[in-house]
Amino acid sequence: MIKGLTALAAGSIAAAALTTQKAYAWKSSTHEHIVKVGLSLLENDGYIEASDFYRNYTDIILSCTKKPDRKGDIDKGKGWHYYCVTTVNGDRLEKSPSGYLKSGKNIMSPSQYARTARTIFEDNYQSALTFCAMGEKERAMEFVARCVHMLADICCTPHTTNLTLTSVKNSKHKRYEYYSSEIFSDYAAQYAPDEMYRLLAEDELFGNIINEAAELSSAKYDIVVGVKTNEELTDTVATALIYAQQLVSAFLLRFYNDAQQGIVFVENGKRYHIRNAETGEYLALAKARQNNSYFCLTSADKKPSNLFTANINSDGSYSFASQNAKILLSAMPYCPSDKKAVKPSFRIGRTPNGIRLTTSDSRFMYALTAGEQGRPASSKPYNPDALSAHWIFEAE
- Which distant-in-sequence residues (6+ apart) come within 8 Å of 258 by Cβ? 129
* Model pLDDT, residue 274: 97
pLDDT value at position 4? 39
- Residue 325: per-residue pLDDT: 67
Query: Residue 330: what pLDDT?
Result: 94
Task: Tell me, yes or no, if the pTM score tops 0.85.
Answer: yes
Rounded CA gap, 76 and 80, in Å?
Answer: 7
Residue ranges and CATH numbers for the domains of the chain are 5-260 (1.10.575.10), 271-395 (2.80.10.50)
State yes or no: pLDDT of 9 exceeds 80: no
Least confident span in 70-74, 158-162, 288-292, 319-323: 288-292
What secondary structure, in 3-state letters, does 246-309 show? HHHHHHHHHHHHHHHCCCCCCCCCCEEEEEECCCCCEEEEEECCCCCCEEEEEECCCCHHHCEE
Rounded to 10 degrees, the C-alpha dihedral 64/70/72/75 comes to 60
Query: For residue 142, which of 130, 154, 153, 152 has the smallest C-alpha distance?
Result: 130
User: Do you find a cis peptide bond into 347, omega within 30 degrees of 0?
Assistant: no
Strands 391-395 and 346-351: unpaired
What does the pLDDT read at residue 27?
52
Residue 285: is its pLDDT beyond 80? yes
Q: In 3D, which of 90, 366, 393 has the Cα closest to residue 221? A: 90
The region of weakest confidence among 86-95, 146-155, 171-180, 332-341 is 332-341
Average pLDDT, the chain: 91
The predicted structure's pLDDT at residue 19: 40
> Which pLDDT value is given to residue 292?
81
Mean pLDDT of 186-190: 96
State residue 110's pLDDT score: 78
- More confidently predicted of 237 and 19: 237
